[in-house]
Structure formats: structure tokens, C-alpha cells
Amino acid sequence: MPVAIALGAFVMTLFGGWVAQHVTDRRHLVLGLAGGLMLGVVGLDLLPEALAAAGGKVFGVPLALLCFVLGYLAAHALERLLAVRGAAHGAGPPHATSHRPPEKNGQRAAPGRVPQVGLTAATAMVVHSTMDGFAIGLAYQAGDEMAVSVALAVIAHDFADGFNTYTLTSLYGNARKRALLMLGADAVAPLIGAGATLLVTLPEHWLGIYLGFFGGLLLYLATADILPEAHHDHPALTTLTCTVAGAGFIWLVVGLAA
């Protein structure tokens, strides 16, 4: 049964990626929406769950929030290291704005960004989707009512996962084929996670640590990369509206699942 429910997440993930792929002529709106979805997922979904699951404090700071900050710093450090490495190999200085790199297989990288960052972020999304499937399986073990609530939340926000996975991969200049490969991996991940609950369980404490860390990583990508890129060429009210709509959509999903 958990695997059957995860099929819904599989379909919604692919649908989210399909939407992101077919609105490339409104790239600024896509990025604005993706940024809003990511902000909503972090602030309204991941952090509350992390705080509830991790428990405890480290020198007066909730462990989940400490992991959240570490995730943000880790994403920043990884991007800086890869950008410096790319510059050393002739890719240009980090965040250069004097020109835009040429398109590659239909995808154009943002200035000063390297494909590895997009792949790393997409891989993190795949891991998160695996945990979504894992959550479905654990909720089903806890009872039918809990299973329905968690399944609705996961299926609904996996649309955002698929949308963001494709957007993150392509934003950093990865070829369309690679973006589709990561989207496929993200779609299959909930099935793997749900199936894994038949064999293993993850302590709630470690789940909270993971969610906090992943939340920090997503916040960095949303605020330092995606939203600035969305508003760079098109600082329009419509872009801001898409960002607000993305966050509002996650609020709606969380509210319906509560």
C-alpha cells in the first residue's frame, strides 16, 4: 500500500518537471515561482518538522536550527569552492555579470555558476524525495488516518520537488538530457523510500537533523541564486507575484494536510 501511494508522488513529480520544462519562454516567472516554492517548503514544512523531530538543544540553540545554519553554510561553501575551481580552469570569475555564457543544448547557465552545483542541489532533492516516500511508509504503519494526511502532503508538494529539481539542474547550465535524468531520479525516489520502510526504520531524531540541514541548503539556493536570477533581467511585479504564489501554494498544502 505505501508503494501504491508513492505512485501518486511519482506522477506529481514528473508533472512538476514537465511544467518547468515547458515554460522556458517565461524563465523569470519560472524562477520566481521556484524560489517561492522553495521558501515555502523550508519555512512552512521542513523547519517545523525538523524542530518537532530533532528535539534537544546544543549550547542553547535547538539542534534542528543549528543543522539548518550548517546546511546554509555548507551550500555556500560548496558553491564558492566550485566557482573558484571553475575560475581557475578558465570559466571566468564567480558571479561575473559582464556577459552570459552561451546556451548549451537549450540550457543557459547563469553567470559564474558551474553545473556541479546544480547537480548537487538536484541530488539533495532526490534524497529528500526518498525521505518523502519513507515518511509515507512510516505513516502507513502508524495508522490509516496518519497515512492519508502524510500522503496528501507529500503528493502535493512533490509537484514543487519536480519543478525545482528540473529548474535547479538546468539553471546551472546542465544539458536538458541531464536535467531530465535528475527529474526521473527524483520521481522514482519516493517509490524507493516507501519500499525501504518494509526493511528499515529511521530514528526520528536523525530525521529532524536531516530536515534541518536540508532546509538550510534549500534556503541558500532560493535566496542567493534563484530569486536574484529571477529578478535580474525582469524585476517585474509578475515575477514577485509568482514568488508569493509559490510560497502561498505550500502554505495551502500544509494547511490542508494538518
Range of lowest pLDDT (48-62, 155-169, 178-192): 155-169
> Strand, helix or coil at 24?
helix
Query: Who contacts 58 (Cβ-Cβ below 8 Å, separation ≥6)?
Result: 66
- Asked if the model's pLDDT at residue 42 lies above 70, the reply is yes
Domain regions of the chain by residue span? 2-257
Cβ atoms within 10 Å of 108's Cβ, excluding its own: 17
Q: What is the pLDDT of residues 240-254, one digit of tens each?
A: 898 999 899 888 877
> What would you measure as the largest C-alpha separation in the chain, in angstroms?
57
Distance CA 113, CA 34 (A): 18
Average pLDDT over residues 118-140: 77
Backbone angles phi, psi at 107, to 5 degrees: -120, 140
pTM of the predicted model as reported, rounded to 2 decimal places: 0.64
Distance CA 132, CA 121 (A): 17
Distance CA 46, CA 53 (A): 10
Residue 183 · residue 13 · CB < 8 Å: yes
Q: What is the pLDDT of residues 199-231, one digit of tens each?
A: 776 677 877 887 788 788 778 878 887 788 777
